[in-house]
Amino acid sequence: MPTKRLTMAQAVIEFLKNQYTERDGRQHQFFAGCFGIFGHGNVAGIGQALQQNPDFRYYLARNEQGMVHTAAAFAKMSNRLRAFACTTSVGPGATNMVTAAAGATINRLPVLLLPGDVFARRNVAPVLQQLEMPFSQDLSVNDCFKPITRYWDRINRPEQIITSLPEAMRILTSQADTGAVMLSLPQDVQVEAFDYPAAMFDKRVWVIPRPRPAATLLRQAADWIRTSQTPLIVAGGGIIYSEATEALAQFVGRVGIPVVETQAGKGALNYDHPQSLGAMGVTGTPGANILAREADLIIGIGTRYSDFTTASKTAFKNPKVRFININISEYDAYKHAALPIIADAQVTLKELDKALEGYKVAEDYQTRIAAFNKEWDAEVDRIYNLKHGPPISQGEVIGAVNTAINPQDVVVGAAGSLPGDLHKLWRARDPKGYHLEYGYSCMGYEIAGGLGVKMAAPDREVYVMVGDGSYLMMAQEIVTSLQENYKLNIIVVNNHGFSSIGNLSDSIGSGGFGTHYLYRDEKTGSLDGERLPVDFAANARSLGAHTIEASDLPSLLAALDEAKQQTKTTVIVIETDREQRVPGYESWWDVPIAEVSTQESVQAAYNEYQTSKKDEQYHL
Ligand SMILES: Cc1ncc(C[n+]2csc(CCOP(=O)(O)OP(=O)(O)O)c2C)c(N)n1
Ligand SMILES: [Mg+2]
């Protein structure tokens, strides 16, 4: 058997270079390269291997969490057909990835993590940054990734990668099981040479299948739909990953079933499609939530039914409600005791269309859908044109960005009050135009994620919408965007703290405690002094970005225009009124409240909470 003598790290890179995915006859090189930050745990191993393989591009990031967000966003934008590897040193470099790795796994996005690990041979232990445990030597900080990765392995001998790398690829390319994958690479083993079988470096194509639905279950689903009075489709992210949006538009256009969207599923239908009722759940529209409440049949496609979608299990109130779940993942397909169709969304929608020949929802149902649509359009217009302030409202900022940009451009967000407001108000005009990380809702994803989106779709303009809190948590990948010449448009919405959690704090009776960015007042002992003088524009400028400050709607529109003329990352800073919020519509979210308290406002909130909680259902 021909062999190739390489270090373990060189063999890893050589293998990764040759992995491809294929769907619908189109091939993609799976790895677009490797993000990394070097330290003593990887500089001589994976670092050297990357230097020796310039055709597998190395991207220097600013923070390990940031680079994993970038990698996850890239995979999401690529419909999980492409991904990045991420290399770090041992110790803090590795554990810096924990947060974003958890985000990738929760959002079911493939990212390959390649941290260094402490010496396998142990004789020099404890090495710099090593976690010592008196009860075991078979433990390092990298073990804390075990619950947040879908495959985890430590490579203690160079030949172990011959069997580990294919397993890593199996998970990364699995539509049902994908997420963060970790190969933990002890720094001494990375540099050890071995005679690897040459065949392991042959080009390998991982075919992404489109499994068909089981015939009996499809027939049953069609029967359930035909006998339903008020069927409703809950469109999740799986529809977008499966590229099933056209099939969905055609199907519902013909049969008239209304569609509501989760955060990940937003954009599955264009906002002005007659069957589109927009966002569903806690951050949903009135039409979506009222029809969900009444529906006798929910067809969940590519959704995992998070509490934001189910309004903490209060969304579906028809006592006769049944569920059909079309999902590539068996786990999700069985939720809510549904009729489980474990299959690809695109194929299933086409087959369902055939199975439902001649079927259309009742006329009066269609009339209601059209009425809800019209009312919601008017409500969005109202919020886009509030003429509040200055400072203006966040709804107006969203309206300005939505109307100023091109349909194929992408809005990116993750945490704070923006995701809810965007979910409600954003007029989606392209299946890949709305990119919200709301599985983990991780502050700090926005800018780093925006970079991943831009790298996956360089022909589109990317508009990152980020709160001041999130910006302060993680803005440093602006530097990486400049280094790589990937232009981002970043809109910093400054409301001097946490509008979202401030609102939540109000609702639980705590009056916004600890959510304002204010100096500590020595007299009160609390954080209720003057405003902190953070200059976001100066901060972004210091990192090298072009910056523009806007203060009202006309100056914001001018800034968006100016940003379009720029070729490098541009940051627009606008102050908004934290208290001018977009209302909630016909929904509820379970956030438990203190059962006993010295505060009357908390006691009142607790009593109200007890009543609302009674609406929570089991779907059995
Ligand atoms: C990493 C992380 N820490 C904490 C939270 C909890 N959290 C959710 S929103 C939020 C405040 C966000 O502030 P900002 O970005 O200014 O957005 P705003 O709420 O003002 O819209 C916090 C602390 C989180 N989602 N992620
Ligand atoms: Mg804020």
- For 251-291, how does the pLDDT look when each residue is reduced to its tens digit (9 = 90+)? 999 999 999 999 999 999 999 999 999 999 999 999 999 99
Strands 26-29 and 19-23: antiparallel
- The answer, yes or no, to whether any atom of ligand 1 lies below 6 A from the CB of 439, is no
Q: Counting beta carbons within 10 angstroms of the beta carbon of residue 619, is it exposed (0 to 12), middle (13 to 18) or buried (19 or more)?
A: middle
Judged by its nearest atom, the ligand closest to the C-alpha of residue 591 is: 1
- 553 pLDDT band, cuts 50/70/90, is very high
Give the CA distances from residue 535 to residues 467, 471, 507, 580, 588, in Å, rounded to whole numbers and listed in that order: 14, 12, 30, 22, 36
Ligand 2 mean position to 606 CA, how many Å? 26
Does ligand 1 lie within 6 Å of residue 499's CB atom? yes
Query: Other C-beta atoms within 10 Å of 467: how many?
Result: 27
Q: Which residue has the tokens 């049902």?
A: 176
Could you say which ligand is closest to the alpha carbon of residue 413?
1
Q: Which of 422, 501, 536 to mutate to test the pocket of ligand 1 (most atoms within 8 A of CB)?
A: 501
| Ligand 1 in reach of 416 Cβ (< 6 A) | yes
Tokens coding 201: 């470096």
- Give the three-state DSSP class for 297: strand
**CB of 418 closer than 6 A to ligand 1?**
yes
Residue 579 identity (one-letter amino acid): E
Give the start-end residues of each E strand in 200-296.
204-207, 231-235, 259-261, 276-279
List CB contacts of 525: < 8 A, sequence separation 6 or more: none
What token pair was written down for 221? 């689903």
> Would you tell me how many other CB atoms lie within 10 Å of the CB of residue 146?
10
Verify whether ligand 1 is closer than 6 Å to residue 326 (CB atom): no
Centroid of ligand 2 to alpha carbon of 495 (angstroms): 5
pLDDT band (50, 70, 90) for residue 16: very high
Considering only CA atoms, which of 464, 448, 449, 453 is closest in space to residue 401? 464
* Residues 303-346 pLDDT 10s: 999 999 999 999 999 999 999 999 999 999 999 999 999 999 99
pLDDT band at 214 (very low <50, low <70, confident <90, very high): very high
Per-residue pLDDT reduced to its tens digit, 364-396: 999 999 999 999 999 999 999 999 999 999 999
Contact present, 12 and 158 (Cβ < 8 Å): no
Q: Is the beta carbon of 469 within 6 A of some atom in ligand 1?
A: yes
- CB of 501 shorter than 6 A to ligand 1: yes
pLDDT at 41: 97
437 alpha carbon, closest ligand: 1
Is the shortest distance between the CB of 102 and ligand 1 below 6 Å?
A: no
287/276 Cα distance (integer angstroms): 10
Q: Specify the residue for token string 């890893």.
A: 12
State the DSSP string of 28-70: EESEEEEEE---TTTIIIIIHHHHH-TTS-EEE-S-HHHHHHH
- Residues 590-612 have pLDDT tens digits of 999 999 999 999 999 999 999 99
CA 114, 116, 121, 125 dihedral sign is negative
Outline where DSSP puts E strands in 452-569. 462-467, 489-494, 546-550
Q: How far is the CA of 436 from the centre of ligand 1 (A)?
A: 14
Task: Tell which residue, 235, 339, 230, has the closest CA to residue 290.
Answer: 230
Which of the listed residues 436, 491, 498, 516 should we mutate to test ligand 1's pocket, taking the one with most ligand atoms within 8 A of CB?
498
Average pLDDT, the chain: 98
Is 468 near ligand 1, meaning CB less than 6 Å away? Answer: yes
Q: Is the CB of 498 under 6 A from ligand 1?
A: yes
- Pocket lining: 440 vs ligand 1, CB cutoff 6 Å: no
Q: Report which ligand 1 atom has the smallest distance to the Cα of 417.
A: 21
185 SS3 class: strand
The backbone torsions φ and ψ at residue 158, rounded to the nearest 5 degrees and listed phi first, read -60, -35
User: Phi, psi at residue 501, to the nearest 5°?
Assistant: -75, -25
pLDDT tens, position by position, 75-106 = 999 999 999 999 999 999 999 999 999 999 99
Kindly report each contact of residues 360-365 with a partner whose C-beta sits within 8 Å and lies 24 or more positions away, as own/partner. Answer: 360/254, 360/255, 360/256, 361/230, 361/231, 361/255, 361/256, 361/257, 362/229, 365/229, 365/230, 365/256, 365/258
Q: Going by DSSP bridges, is the β-strand pair 3-7/193-197 parallel, antiparallel, or unpaired?
A: antiparallel
Is 359 within 8 Å of 226 (Cβ atoms)?
A: yes
Beta bridge partners of 6: 194
How far is the centre of ligand 1, averaged over its atoms, from the C-alpha of 414 (Å)?
9
Mean per-residue pLDDT, 420-441: 98
Ligand 2 centroid vs 502 CA: distance in angstroms?
Answer: 9
Instruction: Please give the distance, rounded to the nearest whole angstrom, from the Cα atom of residue 578 to the centre of ligand 2.
Output: 7
Q: Please indicate whether residue 580, judged by its CB atom, sits closer than 6 Å to ligand 1.
A: no
**CB of 415 closer than 6 angstroms to any ligand 1 atom:** yes
What residue owns the CA closest to ligand 1's atom 12?
416
pLDDT of residue 430: 98
**Which atom of ligand 1 approaches the CA of 468 most closely?**
16
User: How high is the pLDDT of residue 35?
Assistant: 98
- The CA 437 to ligand 2 mean position distance, Å, reads 17
Q: How far is the CA of 431 from the centre of ligand 1 (A)?
A: 26
Is residue 238 lining ligand 1, measured as CB closer than 6 Å?
Answer: no
Give the Cα separation of 202 and 122 in Å (integer). Answer: 34
- Average pLDDT (114-129) is 97
Alpha carbon distances (Å) from 119 to 49, 185, 491: 19, 9, 45
Cis upstream peptide for 147 (omega within 30°): no
Whether residue 103 has its Cβ less than 6 Å from ligand 1? no
Q: Which two three-digit tokens encode residue 596?
A: 């006993």
425: nearest Cα among 393, 455, 387, 384: 384
Report CA(583)–ligand 1 centroid distance (Å).
18
3-state SS assignment for residue 6: strand
Q: How far is the CA of 498 from the centre of ligand 2 (A)?
A: 4
Q: Ligand 1 pocket, 70 CB below 6 A?
A: no
Q: 575 CA to middle of ligand 2, Å?
A: 9
Measured CA to CA in angstroms, residue 489 lies from 218, 441, 459 at distances of 45, 20, 14
* Ligand number nearest to the C-alpha of 445: 1
- Separation of alpha carbons 358 and 283, rounded Å: 35
Among protein residues, the one whose CA lies closest to atom 3 of ligand 1: 443
- Which residue's entry shows tokens 């020949």? 357
Tokens of 474: 């993680």
Q: 126: cis peptide before it, omega within 30°? A: yes
Residue nearest to atom 16 of ligand 1 (CA): 469
Distance 537 CA to ligand 2 centre (A): 15
Q: What is the pLDDT of residue 350?
A: 98
- Ligand 1 mean position, distance from CA 443 (Å): 6
The pLDDT-based confidence of 440 (bands split at 50, 70, 90) is very high
Gap from CA of 416 to ligand 1 centroid (Å): 4
Side-chain half-sphere of 503: how many Cα atoms within 13 Å? 16
